[in-house]
Each structure stands twice: as C-alpha cells, then as structure tokens.
C-alpha cells in the first residue's frame, strides 16, 4: 500500500510531488488546504473578536482553555471513529460540523445579550459554542489525518509524507492572515464578519471535495470501541518512543497554551503597533494593529513553508529527534522574546523587530512533519488513529488549564509574568527531550 515518493528537497518540490501522491493523501491535502484557510482566517483573530463582543482577558483565557479541552477529548474519539468506520465518512461528518461552527461565530455578532434572570448570556458566549463545532474537522480528524498518511507512506519517509500534506496546509496558513489583513485594514469590524463568511464557503467546499474524491478502499479499519476500559488499555499500550516525546511535548504545549491566544492582544492592545509603509505603484499602506498581526502571521507561515520540506529531508540523515527538538525550542523561547523584545532591544524599529520575531517563530513549524512521524510511526497497522488519539488525549488533558492560567495572569497579575513563566515551563520540556527523547527505528 505504501508507495515510493519523489524526493522532497524544498517547498517547490513538495508542490510538484502533490500530483504524484496516492489519491487519498492528495484529497486529504486539498481538504487540509480549504479547512486550514477557513480556520486560520478566524482562529488567531478570535481573541480580539471576543474583546469586541465585550469579553475581558480572563474570558479569553477561558476560551483558550475550552480549546484545550477540545484538543484533549476530540482527537481520541475522532481516532476511534476513524479506525472503526473509515476516514472518509468520519471526516465528512466532522467537516459539516465545523462549517456550522463557523456560522455560529458569524451569528455571535448579531445576537444581543440575553437576560435569563439569574445570569446574562453575553454575545461572546456563542463564540464558545461555535468553537465546540468549528474544531471538529481539525481535532476529531487528527487520527484520520495521521492514519491516512501512515498507510500511504513508507516508514522511513513518514516525515516527507507529512511534509507534503503540511506544505499545503501551511500554504493556507500563509494566505489566510493576508486575506484578513486586507479585510480588516482599518479596524477589526466589520471586515472580520466577511472573513467568517469566506470561512464558511471554504469549509463547505472542503467537505464536498473530500467526500466525493476520497477513495475509502485503502482504509484500514480497526476494532470496535469497547468503552472506558479500552482508553486505559490504549494509553498503557503507547509505543515506548512516544513516552519521553509525550512528556516533553506536554511541557511545551502547556507553555504555549498559556500565551497563544494573547499574541494578537500583545500587538493590538499592549504594543498597539500597526504598519505604515510606502510601496512602488501601490503607494502608502496604513494597516491597523489587527491587520498588521495578519501580516506577521503571513511572515511566520512563509518561513514555515520555506523550511518544512527541507527539514523533513534533513531528518532522514540526522534523525527525527534533533528536528523535533528545534521546533520545541522555538515554541518555548518565543513568548519571552515577543513580550520583552520590543521594550528592551534598542536600535531597531519595533515594526521590523516584530517581523523578525515572527519569522523566527516560523521555524517551530519546521519540526512538525518530524514530530508527526515520531508520533504515528511506531503504531501498528489499523491503530494509527487510535495511537494518535491516545497521545493527544494525554497531552491535551494536562494542558487544559493552561489557557485559564495565562488569562488570569494576563488580566489580574501581569502579562510579562505570564509570558516569562510560559517560557520557563517550555524550556523544561526542551531540556527533558534533549536528555530522554528517543528516535523512531526507521530513522536510526
């Protein structure tokens, strides 16, 4: 079932390889592009949207925590469903649910506060409801995504297989914030409402494409879900190379969970830095802080695209561990650089410093294909979705309170302290992985 894949030496080669991919991976890449475009246009800007709807910093942290709960619970059960009924039908259902979630986000701007007597439902509450649905394709579908690539790729080239799908996904991540930057050039609203409309359209297209074009014949179907006892068995049965990876990854993701939702608020509220520049022919461009954040995300994704495929190639020579470790390090150090850099680095314009910082942040994505290969590589056939879901269940469960902790520190203590603690926690994970991390056999 595995097939020999073309060499991937850079991002252009990854695009050339697209049309030689096995059909199911090709369709997955298309679906990833459409859903990632919709989700990335919305998700990174939702904290500012919440503030617009009347939420405070702690509520933003709770929103991030809900995302962590979803990230913990959805992947496991999504993996179970994918292994049981096949990836095609599972991802189709998840796609329609995500589409409806985008629609709920759009409707939040038009729903007034509802007084129930005991409590008042503020408009931002519906953003929470929408998240429960919008995350379905991304989080429920993780197991299906990993299983599809694993069954279509040789073990020694898993990082390249993931690099191919990730390249298309991250291309959407590059385009999406630039679209938002254009639509919210002056201020967040009402441009963000049009962003949500576009997200709905792309989610519908992605769902239809994957359902009509995906060939389910290659699906490897696992055993039927047997209840909570099976969850415990699956957790105990995690392959040995995953255990130190899971510990380190949990530290790094907990740190990231504390601050991730607040990156946009650093730009729009703390620094209040926009972008004013003059371009030939175009003339002077004056972007709001929210639009500038979109540009920064575009820079981040451009670096990710330029480095992801070459790094996956490098992993075949140096192993997965060093590449994954690099990604962990960038994840860990970025919060403290972002919160302190513009204040304490003299001699460099703040705008260009932020561009440089987000370019550096893009390197964290270079390790993602290797990380995914290290997660699913040791799994047995027919259990790729279940192993992946078990891994993310443990990691996500521990990371759950990170958003609330970060939100509490942001609103009631000090944003700088929150970002500093996040970096310290992340670096613990980096050091642990450097000492105890194991290599996947196929890359040794």
Distance CA 429, CA 418 (A): 17
**Interval 321-325 mean pLDDT:** 88
The confidence score (pLDDT) of residue 159 equals: 57
The confidence score (pLDDT) of residue 323 equals: 87
Assess if residue 53 is contained within a domain: yes
29: domain CATH number?
1.20.1250.20
Indicate if the pLDDT at residue 332 is higher than 80. Answer: yes
pLDDT band at 423 (very low <50, low <70, confident <90, very high): very high
Q: Which residue has the higher pLDDT, 268 or 34?
A: 268
The confidence score (pLDDT) of residue 193 equals: 93
pTM of the model as a whole: 0.81
Assess if residue 436 is contained within a domain: yes
Indicate if the pLDDT at residue 74 is higher than 80. Answer: no
For residues 87 and 219, is the Cβ–Cβ distance under 8 A?
yes
Assess if residue 110 is contained within a domain: yes
Backbone angles phi, psi at 275, to 5 degrees: -135, 120
Identify any residues that bridge with 49 across adjacent strands, giving them in sequence order. none
Assess if residue 72 is contained within a domain: yes
Write out the residue range of the structural domain in which residue 414 sits. Answer: 13-443
Indicate if the pLDDT at residue 382 is higher than 80. Answer: no
Alpha carbon separation from 377 to 246, 269, 314, 440 (Å, rounded): 14, 42, 17, 7
The confidence score (pLDDT) of residue 155 equals: 64
Indicate if the pLDDT at residue 296 is higher than 90. Answer: yes
**Interval 121-148 mean pLDDT:** 78
Q: How many domains does the chain have?
A: 1
The confidence score (pLDDT) of residue 163 equals: 65
The confidence score (pLDDT) of residue 224 equals: 44
Assess if residue 23 is contained within a domain: yes
Assess if residue 5 is contained within a domain: no
pLDDT band at 85 (very low <50, low <70, confident <90, very high): low
Closest CA to 404 of 192, 260, 193: 260
Between 113-117, 165-169, 197-201, 392-396, the lowest mean confidence (pLDDT) is in 165-169
Indicate if the pLDDT at residue 340 is higher than 60. Answer: yes
Q: Residues, the chain, total?
A: 444
Indicate if the pLDDT at residue 31 is higher than 70. Answer: yes
Assess if residue 423 is contained within a domain: yes
Question: Treating both helix axes as pointing N-terminal to C-terminal, what angle do 23-43 and 125-134 enclose, rounded to 10 degrees?
Answer: 170
* CA–centroid distance for 110 within its chain: 28
Indicate if the pLDDT at residue 244 is higher than 80. Answer: yes
Closest CA to 339 of 350, 325, 347: 350
Distance CA 385, CA 261 (A): 28
pLDDT band at 20 (very low <50, low <70, confident <90, very high): very low
Between 91-95, 157-161, 285-289, 387-391, the lowest mean confidence (pLDDT) is in 157-161
What average pLDDT does the structure give for the chain?
Answer: 79
Q: Which residue has the higher pLDDT, 182 or 3?
A: 182
Assess if residue 4 is contained within a domain: no
């Amino acid at each position: 079932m595995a097939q020999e894949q073309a060499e991937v030496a850079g991002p252009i080669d990854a695009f050339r390889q697209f049309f030689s991919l096995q059909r199911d991976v090709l369709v997955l890449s298309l679906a990833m592009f459409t859903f990632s475009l919709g989700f990335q246009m919305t998700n990174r800007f939702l904290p500012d949207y919440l503030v617009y709807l009347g939420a405070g910093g702690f509520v933003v942290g709770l929103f991030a925590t809900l995302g962590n709960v979803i990230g913990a619970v959805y992947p496991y059960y999504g993996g179970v469903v994918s292994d049981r009924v096949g990836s095609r039908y599972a991802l189709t259902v998840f796609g329609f649910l995500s589409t409806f979630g985008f629609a709920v986000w759009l409707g939040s701007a038009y729903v007034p506060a509802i007084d129930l007597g005991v409590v008042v439902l503020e408009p931002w509450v519906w953003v929470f409801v929408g998240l429960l649905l919008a995350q379905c394709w991304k989080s429920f579908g993780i197991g299906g995504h990993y299983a599809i690539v694993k069954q279509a790729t040789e073990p020694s080239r898993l990082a390249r297989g993931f690099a191919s799908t990730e390249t298309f996904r991250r291309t959407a991540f590059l385009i999406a914030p630039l679209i938002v930057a254009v639509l919210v050039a002056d201020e967040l609203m009402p441009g963000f409402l049009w962003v949500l409309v576009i997200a709905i359209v792309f989610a519908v297209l992605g769902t239809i494409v994957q359902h009509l074009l995906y060939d389910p014949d290659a699906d490897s179907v696992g055993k039927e879900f047997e209840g909570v006892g099976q969850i415990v068995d699956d957790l105990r049965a995690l392959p040995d190379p995953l255990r130190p990876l899971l510990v380190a990854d949990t530290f790094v993701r907990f740190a990231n969970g504390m601050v991730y939702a607040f990156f946009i608020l650093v730009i729009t509220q703390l620094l209040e830095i926009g972008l004013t520049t003059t371009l030939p022919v175009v003339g002077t461009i004056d972007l709001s802080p929210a639009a500038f954040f979109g540009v920064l995300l575009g820079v981040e994704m451009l670096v990710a695209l330029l480095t992801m495929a070459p790094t996956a190639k490098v992993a075949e020579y140096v192993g997965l561990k060093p590449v994954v470790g690099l990604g962990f390090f960038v994840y860990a150090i970025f919060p403290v650089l972002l919160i302190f850099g513009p204040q304490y680095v003299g001699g460099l314009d703040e705008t260009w410093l932020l561009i440089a910082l987000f370019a550096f942040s893009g390197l964290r994505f270079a390790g993602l294909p290797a990380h995914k290969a290290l997660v699913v590589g040791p799994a047995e056939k027919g259990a790729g979705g279940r192993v992946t879901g078990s891994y993310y269940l443990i990691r996500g469960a521990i990371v759950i309170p990170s958003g609330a902790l970060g939100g509490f520190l942001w609103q009631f203590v000090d944003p700088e302290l929150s970002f500093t603690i996040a970096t310290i926690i992340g670096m613990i994970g980096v050091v642990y992985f450097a000492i105890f991390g194991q290599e996947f056999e196929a890359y040794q």
